[in-house]
Amino acid sequence: MSVVKINVLTVPQEQRETLEKRFASRAHAVESSDGFEWFELLRPVEGTDDYLVYTRWRDEESFQAWMEGPMKAAHQGGGAPSGERPKPAASGSTVWSFEVVQQAAPKQA
């Protein structure tokens, strides 16, 4: 059964461009991970400063393997000079976890 992880990132208006550029710079980093099924970065339109980072995985084990491997490596150093990490664009983060129990797709014509 697939699992969905939604990382809720609180991003002040002045940091939105920075956050989106950081995601764009590593846009394909997750795609080759075993068990990865889907990714979306959702920008808030109104009423909130919360971005949603939506990922879908074959199972919890696949997500955990990515967290402990490629994701962990991507967040260490971040390509900053002298190995310093850049200041986070988000001022807060919460992860929501779900199991997919029902889904629908467009009907084929």
Q: What percent of the chain has pLDDT over 70?
A: 86
- For the stretch 32-82, pLDDT in tens is 999 999 999 999 999 999 999 999 999 999 999 999 986 766 655 544 455
| The predicted structure's pLDDT at residue 72 | 64
| The predicted structure's pLDDT at residue 79 | 47
b/e for 60-95, b at 16 or more Cβ within 10 A?
eebbebbeeebbeeeeeeeeeeeeeeeebbbeeeee
Q: How far apart are CA 101 and CA 98, in angstroms?
A: 9
Domains of the chain: 3-79+88-99 (3.30.70.100)
| The predicted structure's pLDDT at residue 82 | 54
DSSP 86: P
For residue 92, pLDDT over 70 is answered with yes
Q: What percent of the chain has pLDDT over 90?
A: 65
Residue 59 CA neighbour count, 13 Å, CB half: 2
